[in-house]
């Protein structure tokens, strides 16, 4: 057994979570900068910054959808590989790795062709106006060409983390994001490429990240090696991966559907300034969610490995520590948005009208954000435990079952239509987090009893 795998089963849980989660959190924070730095620079382009920012915001559902397909394979495959490693079956884990790489490549090619052929029609449906459409097309025409690099960089990086090599996984994102931060102002302002420059900087950065991932997974330091004989796709391997990956896929793809619903409703009741504010609010929601994604990615190998190895006490400690860290972070973030809304919003734009509008919307939109720690920790723990059906239901609950209907229904019930659209977010956050917590506490207790070999009747 390798040192990394041995640590997953033996090292103190707190120290291990710190070791694995700090790099993955850092990676997600840096990954967050890919899109957010683009928006910051774009929002400050002289004369057209607000329109350009709104135009790029309209493309956000497509960007989310591309990322969602990387999660379908990558976040479904990495826990399967981890569980196999915990059971001592590294050959099976390598088969999962090879199949996932091929699936990511095929998916990327299909998505590239599809979006290049249909992007203008899709952007109209997403709420692009005559003023914002040119900026949306300029950005998307270039961004879509990097789909293959995005799929590999995001989707396959989890197979590095799942080996306990979270520092290497952090470098994947760090290298690309640092390059993006450097190239953005050069392409946008020095070469006067505007929105196209932001997209080009992102594609080049993701390409470098993808090359880094492939180099590691084929190099001498990897425990799970990407091998030619494992590249042929097999349904028996991919179907369980997809079943487990459906939850994170639904979480991200429904984020795309959610962005569309928000944009269309806000354009109807508030025009371009309301859509522009949602671009900023979406960025802030990323600032809340992505560090928690990094935290759960760091915890995932620990939870999955010890579940596979049937180490009950370590499994309990891992989940409890993950939950405590997630809830602490969300509470602190929520407090910051309550205390310093104008300073936070001003990072994205210097348009006084947009700042004022967004600050008002922010007080409503993230009103229940402090509860999202429970939602994320418990839902991601279900994924790490291989509980595909429950995690999929919980992913559907917040956005499809609750949030999207509320966006459409609340404006019909309240006189202030814009307030009603933004209110849908905290109402769904509260209901989804409460439901997820109850379901997890019940099911996790059953799982622990099963691992201890206790009679099924005692679970009642």
If you average pLDDT over residues 401-419, what whole number do you get?
Answer: 93
pLDDT of residue 186: 93
If you average pLDDT over residues 334-344, what whole number do you get?
Answer: 94
Q: What is the mean pLDDT of the chain?
A: 87
pLDDT tens per residue across span 359-401: 999 999 999 999 999 999 998 898 889 887 888 788 788 888 9
Query: Is residue 257's pLDDT more than 60?
Result: yes
Q: Which residue has the higher pLDDT, 411 or 351?
A: 411
Three-class DSSP labels, the chain:
CCHHHHHHHHCCHHHHHHHHHHHHHHHHHHHHHHHHHHHHHHHCCCCCHHHHHHHHHHCHHHHHHHHHHHHHHHHHHHHHHHHHHHCCCHHHHHHHHHHHHHHHHHHHHHHHHHHHHHHHHHHHHCCCCCCCHHHHHHHHHHHHHHHHHHHHHHHCCHHHHCCCCHHHHHHHHHHHHHHHHHHHHHHHHHCCCCHHHHHHHHHHHHHHHHHHHHHHHCCCCCCCCCCHHHCCCCHHHHHHHHHHHHHHHHHHHHHHHHHHHHHHHHHHHHCHHHHHHHHHHHHHHHHHHHHHHHHHHHHHHHHHHHHHCCCHHHHHHHHHHHHHHHHHHHHHHHHHHHHCHHHHHCCCCCCHHHHHHHHHHHHHHCCCHHHHHHHHHHHHHHHHCCCHHHHHHHHHHHHHHHHHHHHHHHHHHCCCHHHHHHHHHHHHHHHHHHHHHHHHHHHHHHHHHHHHCCCHHHHC
Query: Is residue 4's pLDDT more than 60?
Result: no
Query: Is residue 95's pLDDT more than 90?
Result: yes
pLDDT of residue 34: 65
pLDDT of residue 400: 86
If you average pLDDT over residues 430-446, what whole number do you get?
Answer: 94
pLDDT of residue 459: 39
pLDDT of residue 27: 67
Lowest-pLDDT range of 27-41, 60-74, 86-100, 254-268: 27-41
If you average pLDDT over residues 29-46, what whole number do you get?
Answer: 73
At 125, the pLDDT band (50, 70, 90 cuts) reads confident
If you average pLDDT over residues 452-457, what whole number do you get?
Answer: 66
pLDDT of residue 31: 65
pLDDT of residue 24: 73
If you average pLDDT over residues 220-231, what whole number do you get?
Answer: 92
Query: Is residue 207's pLDDT more than 50?
Result: yes
Query: Is residue 3's pLDDT more than 60?
Result: no
Most confident segment among 157-161, 299-303, 362-366: 362-366
Lowest-pLDDT range of 139-148, 157-166, 431-440: 157-166
pLDDT of residue 137: 93
Query: Is residue 284's pLDDT more than 60?
Result: yes
If you average pLDDT over residues 43-68, what whole number do you get?
Answer: 79
For the chain, percent of residues with pLDDT exceeding 70: 95
If you average pLDDT over residues 327-354, what whole number do you get?
Answer: 91
């Amino acid at each position: 057994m390798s040192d990394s795998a041995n640590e997953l089963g033996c090292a103190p849980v707190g120290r291990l979570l710190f070791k694995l989660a700090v790099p993955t959190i850092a990676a997600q924070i840096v990954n967050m900068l890919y899109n957010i730095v683009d928006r910051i620079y774009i929002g400050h382009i002289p004369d057209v910054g607000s329109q350009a920012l709104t135009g790029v915001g309209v493309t956000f559902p497509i960007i989310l959808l591309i990322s969602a397909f990387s999660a379908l394979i990558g976040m479904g495959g990495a826990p399967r590989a981890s569980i196999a490693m915990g059971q001592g079956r590294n050959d099976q884990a390598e088969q999962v790795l090879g199949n996932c790489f091929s699936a990511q490549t095929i998916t990327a090619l299909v998505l590239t062709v599809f979006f290049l052929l249909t992007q203008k029609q899709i952007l109209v449906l997403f709420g692009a106006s005559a003023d914002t459409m040119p900026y949306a097309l300029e950005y998307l025409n270039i961004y879509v060409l990097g789909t293959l690099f995005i799929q590999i960089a995001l989707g396959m990086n989890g197979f590095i983390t799942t080996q306990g090599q979270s520092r290497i996984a952090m470098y994947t994102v760090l290298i690309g994001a640092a390059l993006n931060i450097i190239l953005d102002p050069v392409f946008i302002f020095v070469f006067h490429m505007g929105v196209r420059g932001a997209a080009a900087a992102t594609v080049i950065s993701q390409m470098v990240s993808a090359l880094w991932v492939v180099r590691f997974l084929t190099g001498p330091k990897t425990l799970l090696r990407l091998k030619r004989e494992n590249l042929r796709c097999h349904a028996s391997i991919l179907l369980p991966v997809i079943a487990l990956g459906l939850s994170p896929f639904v979480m991200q793809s429904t984020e795309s559907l959610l962005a569309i619903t928000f944009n269309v409703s806000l354009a109807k009741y508030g025009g371009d300034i309301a859509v522009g504010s949602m671009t900023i609010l979406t960025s802030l929601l990323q600032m809340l969610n992505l560090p928690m994604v990094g935290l759960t990615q760091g915890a995932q190998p620990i939870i999955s490995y010890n579940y596979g190895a049937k180490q009950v006490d370590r499994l309990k400690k891992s989940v409890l520590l993950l939950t405590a860290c997630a809830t602490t972070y969300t509470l602190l973030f929520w407090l910051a948005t309550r205390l310093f809304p104008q300073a936070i919003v001003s990072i994205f734009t210097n348009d006084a009208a947009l700042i004022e509008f967004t600050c008002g919307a922010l007080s409503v939109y993230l009103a229940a954000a402090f509860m999202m720690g429970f939602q994320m920790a418990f839902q991601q723990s279900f994924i790490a435990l291989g509980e595909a059906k429950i995690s999929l239901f919980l992913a559907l609950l917040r956005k499809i079952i609750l949030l999207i209907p509320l966006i459409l229904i609340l404006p019909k019930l309240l006189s202030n239509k814009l307030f009603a659209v933004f209110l849908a977010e905290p109402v769904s956050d509260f209901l989804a987090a409460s439901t997820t917590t109850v379901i997890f506490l019940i099911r996790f207790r059953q799982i622990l009893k099963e691992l201890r070999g206790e009679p099924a009747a005692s679970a009642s």
